Structure 1
């Protein structure tokens, strides 16, 4: 006699874990994805990049700022936190590193001056993970990632992402960011509050690029994430079964090969573009 509540003839659907970083890496270059996440030992990489060092320092300083009581979140303390977090990796020389340390100190001091930082975020550098469905069916993905900041405003969650690059972001970049959309969905599921607004905070200019998502726009981003996740899973499974790694994870060459972390291990990338200097992507 059949047991109630069980159907042993139906295989449960496998949930695929995805992060924005993994999806973005695969979309940019499947070869870089394989070298980053699958190849062991990890292939030879470049040294540190100054723009990555700078971004990490600013992120760490702002994280430390929100660990302080609200009355201590002052421009002077924010600037001091940059000095405490500072690293020199990737800069041309000590003089350039000193100049950018002072710029970063001014960026975060101005940021604190212009923005209300007295409210406690619900999350700072918070890891979030939630099962989601890309359609109306059961969950098919587990969306994971670390959000720079999650605010609560008027009862709703807001995803905040810090940027320190050359180019000032705009509303279209905020709306089109798959990472921000995925964080919004995962945060809403995890923290059980609506989350539609996403913001890019550009520290060099102090500008904020914001977008308000709808249910449809979030679903479109999830569908795109699901499609990429399916491609990754198929290529990974085929590789494990003995498939050709270069065919399954081809190099997608272009200008970005100049500053790819795995340039020393990729002949195609070396031929595609001349090597960038480690400080060339710094904001002016």
Structure 2
């Protein structure tokens, strides 16, 4: 694949949850546009990095194994990325655990499960943002993006929703504080997305996965769920916008369910 359009060449992108359905699509798209992609995931993503490289992207992504629920691991990873690549220009807080099943929902959930989910789905994004902000402020340029969930979602485990909806307010605060320093934020709030995670959620409810997917597609007024590739394209649009006046915007992608039903 030959690509002469490389608007993100020279930019370093850190993506959490990079080995998942959405994260892998984002990793490929940003690598395709020339960015040095740092793939953060608790799982070994070297094979995925090789797969992306085999598609002819300008730079092979760099995998970083990290449990983002552990602050010290996050800190060490950011220090390593800074030493290897000179810092982070674009941070995509995408990682999440869904907390499927009754053990992570009201009223059966435990405090331990709640805290673990929040640490991954929300706290890690706070830590990462705090760690990369000094470098962005020094460069007077940066993008912080969030894969979130709308506060209006229903039927999803409480800890997941509590963590992901928190991104909306976090992005607004960051934008208000640092917009004049060239740091922009974007939130993409998702409800129905065709990913391995949504399959696990359906299975956890004792529903046939394929039948469940059909119903979810039909429930969207567009006739289908959004795909990871489409999400990656939206993030890329925001990342490449020069001197964008768009910041602190929360885009809702749910097939029209929230406002139209």
TM-score interval w.r.t. the shorter chain? Answer: under 0.3
TM-score normalised over the length of structure 1: 0.23
Larger radius of gyration: 1
TM-score normalised over the length of structure 2: 0.24
